[in-house]
Amino acid sequence: MIKPIELVIFDCDGVLVDSERIAVRVQVALGAELGWPLSEGEVVERFIGRSHAAIREQVAARLGEDTAALWSQRFEKLHREAVDAELAPVEGLPEALDALTLPTCVASSGSHDKMRHTLGRTGLHERFAGRVFSAGEVPHGKPAPDLFLYAARRMGVDPAACVVVEDSRPGVHAARAAGMRSFGYAGGLTPAERLEGPGTTVFHHMRDLPGLIAELR
């Protein structure tokens, strides 16, 4: 028997805040500067939805630990500057949150410091105060299920009664591994076909989310 939805778990980057475009632009520039030329599509495929540590591991395997450390340092600086200058909520997201009546939380590959910054800059942090969870709190980041299972446990909800809102392939894979249904937001950088799969509904406009969730209840 399929359980009614009791909790909506949101990813952060690309779902709540339109930060993935900034991150991809910065990663492409760093790759060109530090010796690993990457297209936007390659950055989306390799990095989007993965933790800072997982990205650093990839860079270290390609360019060595010293360059990986420099890459991480430069990314944090350039990303923060761009966020301060131009970050906004995902289009339609505030209205979608206003229309939701279910409990919500955030479970992101980003660090707590990063989420305090991005959610704070967009006026969203107070909406999720005390209900923000980071991959840094669990042994394995997405696509492993650890983070979503941890969020469900902290919120006191059965994983089968959770639905995840994600915009990345590792994210929807993590939701499936956790035994959760998911919505794949294809209004960002990840093509819709990369989000498709069992238990996942792909959608393109954030304003449609409350209605789609209501259909599951």
Annotated catalytic residues are 11
Q: How far is 154 from 52, CA to CA, in rounded Å?
A: 23
Q: How far is 23 from 33, CA to CA, in rounded Å?
A: 15
First vs last C-alpha separation in the chain = 13
User: What token pair was written down for 48?
Assistant: 């989007």
Q: How far is 182 from 44, CA to CA, in rounded Å?
A: 20
Q: How far is 10 from 183, CA to CA, in rounded Å?
A: 10
Q: How far is 126 from 16, CA to CA, in rounded Å?
A: 13
Question: Residue 152: which of 129, 179, 128 has the closest Cα?
Answer: 179
User: What token pair was written down for 17?
Assistant: 């805040």
Contact 213, 163 (CB under 8 A): yes
Query: From residue 44, how far is each of 145, 201, 215 by CA, in Å?
Result: 20, 20, 30
